[in-house]
C-alpha cells in the first residue's frame, strides 16, 4: 500500500512577485486538499483573498487555518500585502443551485471575483465494460458539468462586466485514459469547452485556460484509489521520462502564471505540467494477449511477438 505523505508546503515560497494579487478575490474549488490547497496557499501568499469551497466544509476550515498560518508567516517575513484564505458554503459543483449560492455569497461578501480556478474533481478506476451509466454520469457531471456551472455563474455574476481570468484543471488524457474512460472524456470536454469560452468571453476581457497535470502525489488523491493506486508507483513512475511525479506546487506555479497579467495574451490554451509524460508511452493497462488485430497482407514472423 502507498504510504500517506504530508504535502503541506512548509519550506516552499512562491517564485512570483510579492503582492502580485493584492486586492484580488479568487475562488479555488476543491481548495481544501491536494493541488487546490497549494493553489489557494500561493494565491493567498501573493495577496489575494481566496475563497475555497467543496462539499466538506470541516475539511476546508481546518485547511484554511493552516494555510493562513503559513501566509501570515510568509508575508510578515517579506513585508508584502497579506492575503487570506476563507471558506465558502458547502458546495457540490454538480448542483447548479449550490454553485449559484456560492458565487452570490462571494459577490455579496467580497464585492468581486477576479480569479477562478476550477480544481474540484476526481474519478475512480473502473474498466469501461464494468462502468455503469450512473458511474459514468457521476464523473462527467462532477468534472465537466460542474466546471461549466462554476464558469457560467462567475461570468454572469461578475466577470461579464468586469473581466477576469479562469484556469480549469484537467488531466493527462492525450493517449486516452484506460480504466478511467469517464474522466478522460470529461477532461477532454473541459479543454474544448475552455476554448469555446475563451472566444465567447473575449469581449468581456475574460481569459480561459487549462492546466493539465501529469501525476501529482497528493495524499487525498492517491488514497482514493486504494490498491489500484499502487500501480501508479510500481508501473507508471518507472516509465515516466522524469522518473518522478509532480509536486502540487509545480501545478500551482503554472496556474498562478496563467491567472496573472503576465499571461495577458494567453487564452484558450492548455499548459501541460507533466515532465514530458504526454509524449512518452505510459503503460496504464497491460495488453498481454498477442493474437489480436488480424493481419491483412503479409507480416514477417519476426515482426510479431
Ligand atoms: C500524463 C499521463 C497521465 C496518465 C495517468 C493519469 C493519472 C491520473 C491521476 C489522477 C489523479 C486524481 O485525479 S487524484 C484526485 C482524486 N480525488 C477524487 O477522485 C476525489 C473526488 N471523487 C469523488 O468525488 C467521487 O469519488 C466521484 C468519483 C466523483 C464519484 O461521485 P459520487 O460519490 O457521487 O459517486 P457515487 O454516488 O459514490 O457513485 C455513483 C456511481 O458511480 C459508481 N462508482 C463509484 N465508485 C466506483 C468504483 N470505485 N468502481 C466502480 N463504480 C463506482 C457507483 O457504483 C455508482 O453507480 P451505481 O451504484 O452502479 O448505480
Ligand atoms: N493528483 C493527480 O495526480 C492529478 C489530479 N488531477 C486533478 O486535480 C484536481 C485536484 O486533485 P487532487 O488535489 O489530487 O485530489 P483531491 O481529492 O485532494 O482534490 C479533489 C477536490 O475536489 C473536491 N471535490 C470533489 N468532488 C466535488 C464536488 N462534487 N463538488 C465540490 N468539490 C468537489 C474535493 O473536496 P470535497 O470532497 O470536500 O468535495 C477535493 O478537495 C482534481 O480535479 C483531480 O482530478 C489531475 C491530474 C493528476
Q: Compare 221 and 99 and report the one with higher pLDDT.
A: 99
Bridge partners, residue 26, by sequence:
50, 115
C-alpha cell at 83: 492575503
Nearest CA to ligand 2 atom 15: 221
Domain spanning 25-275: which CATH class is it, in words? Answer: alpha beta
pTM here is 0.95
Average pLDDT, the chain: 93
C-alpha cell at 2: 502507498
Q: Give whole-number Cα distances, 158 to 99, 175, 268, in Å.
A: 14, 37, 20
Q: Which of 142, 138, 126, 129 is nearest to 177 (CA)?
A: 126
Nearest CA to ligand 2 atom 6: 171
Q: Which of 140, 211, 220 is nearest to 180 (CA)?
A: 140
Encode pLDDT of 220-256 as tens digits. 667 677 777 788 888 899 999 999 999 999 999 999 9
Encode pLDDT of 125-168 as tens digits. 999 999 999 999 999 999 999 999 999 999 999 999 999 999 99
Percent of the chain with pLDDT strictly greater than 90: 78
3-state secondary structure of 128: coil
Average pLDDT over every residue of 205-211: 99
Encode pLDDT of 172-202 as tens digits. 988 999 999 999 999 999 999 999 999 999 9
Query: How many Å lie between the centroid of ligand 1 and the Cα of residue 61?
Result: 24
Average pLDDT over every residue of 46-62: 98
Average pLDDT over every residue of 289-304: 90
Q: Compare 1 and 53 and report the one with higher pLDDT.
A: 53
DSSP letter assigned to residue 262:
G
Count the neighbouring beta carbons within 10 Å of the beta carbon of residue 47.
22
Any atom of ligand 2 within 6 Å of the Cβ of 179 = no
Nearest CA to ligand 1 atom 56: 135
Domain ranges of the chain: 25-275
DSSP letter assigned to residue 149:
H
Return the ligand number nearest the Cα of 98.
2
Amino acid at each position: 500500500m502507498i504510504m500517506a505523505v504530508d504535502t503541506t508546503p512548509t519550506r516552499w515560497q512562491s517564485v512570483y512577485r510579492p503582492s502580485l494579487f493584492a486586492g484580488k478575490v479568487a475562488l479555488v474549488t476543491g481548495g481544501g486538499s491536494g493541488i487546490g490547497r497549494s493553489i489557494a496557499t500561493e494565491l493567498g501568499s501573493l495577496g489575494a483573498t481566496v475563497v475555497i469551497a467543496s462539499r466538506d466544509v470541516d475539511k476546508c476550515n481546518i485547511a484554511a487555518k493552516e494555510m493562513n498560518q503559513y501566509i501570515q508567516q510568509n508575508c510578515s517575513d517579506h513585508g508584502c500585502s497579506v492575503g487570506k484564505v476563507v471558506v465558502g458554503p458547502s458546495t457540490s459543483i454538480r448542483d447548479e443551485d449550490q454553485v449559484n449560492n456560492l458565487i452570490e455569497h462571494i459577490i455579496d461578501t467580497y464585492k468581486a471575483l477576479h480569479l477562478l480556478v476550477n480544481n474540484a474533481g476526481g474519478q475512480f478506476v473502473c474498466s469501461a465494460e464494468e462502468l455503469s451509466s450512473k458511474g459514468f454520469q457521476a464523473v462527467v457531471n462532477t468534472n465537466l458539468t460542474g466546471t461549466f456551472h462554476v464558469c457560467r455563474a462567475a461570468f454572469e455574476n461578475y466577470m461579464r462586466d468586469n473581466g477576469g481570468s479562469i484556469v480549469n484543471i484537467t488531466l493527462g488524457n492525450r493517449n486516452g485514459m484506460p480504466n478511467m474512460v469517464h474522466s478522460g472524456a470529461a477532461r477532454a470536454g473541459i479543454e474544448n469547452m475552455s476554448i469555446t469560452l475563451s472566444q465567447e468571453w473575449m469581449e468581456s476581457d475574460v481569459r480561459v485556460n487549462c492546466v493539465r497535470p501529469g501525476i501529482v502525489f497528493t495524499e487525498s488523491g492517491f488514497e482514493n484509489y486504494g490498491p489500484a493506486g499502487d500501480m501508479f508507483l510500481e508501473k507508471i513512475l518507472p516509465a515516466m521520462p522524469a522518473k518522478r511525479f509532480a509536486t502540487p506546487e509545480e501545478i500551482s506555479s503554472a496556474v498562478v502564471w496563467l491567472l496573472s497579467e503576465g499571461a495577458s495574451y494567453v487564452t484558450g490554451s492548455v499548459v501541460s505540467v507533466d515532465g514530458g509524460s504526454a509524449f512518452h508511452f505510459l503503460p496504464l493497462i497491460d495488453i498481454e494477449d498477442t493474437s489480436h488485430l488480424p493481419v491483412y497482407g503479409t507480416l514477417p514472423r519476426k515482426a510479431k511477438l
